[in-house]
């Protein structure tokens, strides 16, 4: 085994008494990129936990006269001199020829950036009533809040919608993966531990499910959801649909681990001294492959997030008024809307960053969990 140097420097003695998870953590910490991704994901999770705090406006509030405002960039220079971060206010003017609304920055109206400002009221974690938001802007003249990432067709603030969408998209990924993990571990475990005809049956089932083309099946299943269902039901139905086809890969992984561990000396020894079946599984076998499962689960989350985005984008997943990244991207469904308002693609950037971070983190964990790697 490779020598792992700890931060404290007393490598020698620490290595010999360190439990497995600690050694995994030491190995993981050396993968700088994966550690950065862990921080990025921490931030994304924080947003998912309290999107209201990060939002600047009510994400559902529409305003027909403020549609398609381009992102108002944060500036630090005004009239050639440095200035506390601010954005220019905008004024709409109709182009006399095309009749399109053009938004022009008004250099007289400056909205300075403020932190922990008062805004719309909400309940933090659904409990604490407050109206504080992470940041906002001082209204100098017009009495309208700037839109950091612009507005959509109905004049809704994209930044705030993006914050709310993070909660739904991330949680759908997590819940769907949680369901498929339970299914995967249960069926994969049974398959690997008992073997025989049970194993055969489950393996054939997995092969069958894996042979199905996923997106057409997902589409058909989600099209089957009644249009009249409330948003929360659709949300859970979509999660279950995603999980239904997603557990097979995990089940394979778990089964493989069980098969290879079943003949290991320590498992045989535990069985010979008369440990019960549950004890052999849960206190001897499971701990030795938990880290692999965590890595596999981490790699499964981004797939779920992407799939939710696909479904909602096509109009068969979550439906407005629910907000998810896919629902947001639906606004940019064709070339024309993208040409009109390219900023509607920004939610895609969030998808890419989150999925990227999860993939790198998962790879980092997998490498760290492998005791034979250097």
Partner 1 sequence: MHWFILKRLLIVPLLLVIFSIISFVLIQAPPGDFLTSYIAELAQGGTTIDQAQIEALRREYGLDRPVYVQYLLWVGNLLKGDLGVSLEWRRANVELIGERLVLTLALTTASLLFTWAVAIPVGIISATRQYSLVDYVFTVLNYIGLATPNFLLALVLMWIAFDRFGLTVTGLFSPEYVQAPWSWGRFLDLLRHLWLPMIVLGVAGTAQIARVVRANLLDELSKPYSEMARAKGLPEWKLVLKYPTRVAIAPVISTLGWYVPQLLSGGLVVSVVMSLPTIGPLLLRALIGQDMYLAGTIILIFCVLTIIGTLISDILLAVLDPRIRMEGS
- Cis ω for the linkage preceding 321 (within 30 of 0): yes
Q: Does 338 bind partner 1 (CB under 8 A)?
A: yes
Query: What does DSSP assign to residue 157?
Result: B
Structure tokens at 50: 């309290």
Are the CB atoms for 150 and 335 separated by under 8 Å?
no
Site mask for partner 1 (CB under 8 A), range 198-227, x = bound: ----------x-xxxxxxxx-xxx-xx-x-
Nearer residue to partner 1 within complex by CB, 11 or 212: 212
Q: Does 5 bind partner 1 (CB under 8 A)?
A: no
Q: Which of 351, 361, 365, 369 binds partner 1 (CB under 8 A)?
A: 351
Nearer residue to partner 1 within complex by CB, 267 or 332: 332
Segment near partner 1 (CB under 8 A), from 146-154, 176-184, 303-311, 364-372? Answer: 303-311
Q: Does 106 bind partner 1 (CB under 8 A)?
A: no
In degrees, rounded to 5, the angle at the alpha carbon of residue 163 between the alpha carbons of residues 140 and 129 is: 75
Nearer residue to partner 1 within complex by CB, 204 or 277: 204
Query: What does DSSP assign to residue 71?
Result: P
* 3 state SS of 337: helix
In degrees, rounded to 5, the angle at the alpha carbon of residue 135 between the alpha carbons of residues 130 and 136 is: 95
Nearer residue to partner 1 within complex by CB, 217 or 275: 217
- Other beta carbons within 10 Å of 206: 20
Total chain residues near partner 1 (CB under 8 A)? 40
Minimum distance of partner 1 from residue 360's CB (angstroms): 6
Nearer residue to partner 1 within complex by CB, 199 or 363: 363
Structure tokens at 129: 């009533």
The helix-helix angle for 158-194 and 32-49 (nearest 10°) equals 120
Q: Within positions 225 to 254, which residues make up the interface with partner 1, using CB under 8 A?
A: 226
Minimum distance of partner 1 from residue 259's CB (angstroms): 17
Minimum distance of partner 1 from residue 309's CB (angstroms): 6
Q: Which of 59, 302, 317, 364 binds partner 1 (CB under 8 A)?
A: 302
Are the CB atoms for 358 and 299 separated by under 8 Å?
yes
Nearer residue to partner 1 within complex by CB, 145 or 158: 158
- Other beta carbons within 10 Å of 158: 25
Are the CB atoms for 154 and 281 separated by under 8 Å?
no
Segment near partner 1 (CB under 8 A), from 1-9, 24-32, 79-87, 353-361? Answer: 353-361
């Amino acid at each position: 085994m490779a020598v792992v140097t700890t931060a404290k420097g007393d490598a020698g003695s620490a290595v010999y008494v360190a439990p497995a998870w600690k050694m995994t953590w030491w190995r993981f910490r050396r993968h700088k990129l994966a550690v950065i991704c862990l921080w990025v994901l921490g931030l994304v999770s924080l947003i998912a936990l309290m999107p209201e705090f990060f939002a600047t406006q009510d994400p559902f509030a529409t305003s027909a006269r403020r549609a398609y405002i381009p992102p108002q960039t944060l500036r630090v220079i005004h009239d050639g001199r440095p200035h506390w971060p601010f954005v220019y206010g905008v004024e709409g003017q109709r182009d006399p020829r095309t009749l399109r609304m053009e938004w022009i920055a008004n250099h007289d109206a400056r909205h300075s950036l403020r932190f922990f400002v008062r805004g719309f009221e909400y309940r933090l974690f659904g409990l604490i009533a407050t109206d504080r938001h992470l940041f906002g802007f001082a209204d100098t003249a017009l009495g309208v809040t700037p839109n950091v990432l612009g507005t959509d067709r109905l004049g809704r603030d994209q930044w705030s919608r993006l914050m709310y969408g993070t909660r739904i998209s991330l949680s759908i990924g997590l819940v769907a993966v949680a369901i498929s993990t339970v299914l995967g571990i249960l069926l994969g475990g049974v398959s690997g531990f008992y073997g025989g005809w049970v194993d055969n049956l489950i393996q054939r089932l997995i092969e069958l499910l894996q042979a199905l083309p996923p997106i057409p099946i997902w589409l058909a299943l989600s099209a089957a959801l009644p249009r009249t269902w409330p948003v929360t039901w659709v949300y859970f139905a979509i999660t279950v649909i995603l999980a239904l086809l997603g557990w097979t890969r995990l089940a394979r992984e778990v089964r493989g681990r069980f098969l290879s561990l079943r003949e290991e000396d320590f498992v045989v020894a535990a069985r010979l001294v008369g440990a019960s079946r549950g004890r052999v599984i849960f206190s001897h076998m499971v701990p030795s492959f938990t880290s692999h499962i965590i890595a596999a689960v981490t790699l499964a989350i981004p797939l779920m997030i992407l799939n939710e985005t696909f479904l909602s984008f096509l109009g068969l997943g979550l439906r407005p008024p629910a907000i998810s990244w896919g629902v947001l991207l639906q606004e940019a469904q064709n070339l024309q809307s993208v040409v009109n308002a390219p900023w509607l693609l920004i939610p895609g950037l969030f998808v890419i960053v989150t999925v990227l971070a999860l993939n790198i983190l998962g790879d980092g964990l997998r490498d760290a969990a492998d005791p034979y790697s250097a």
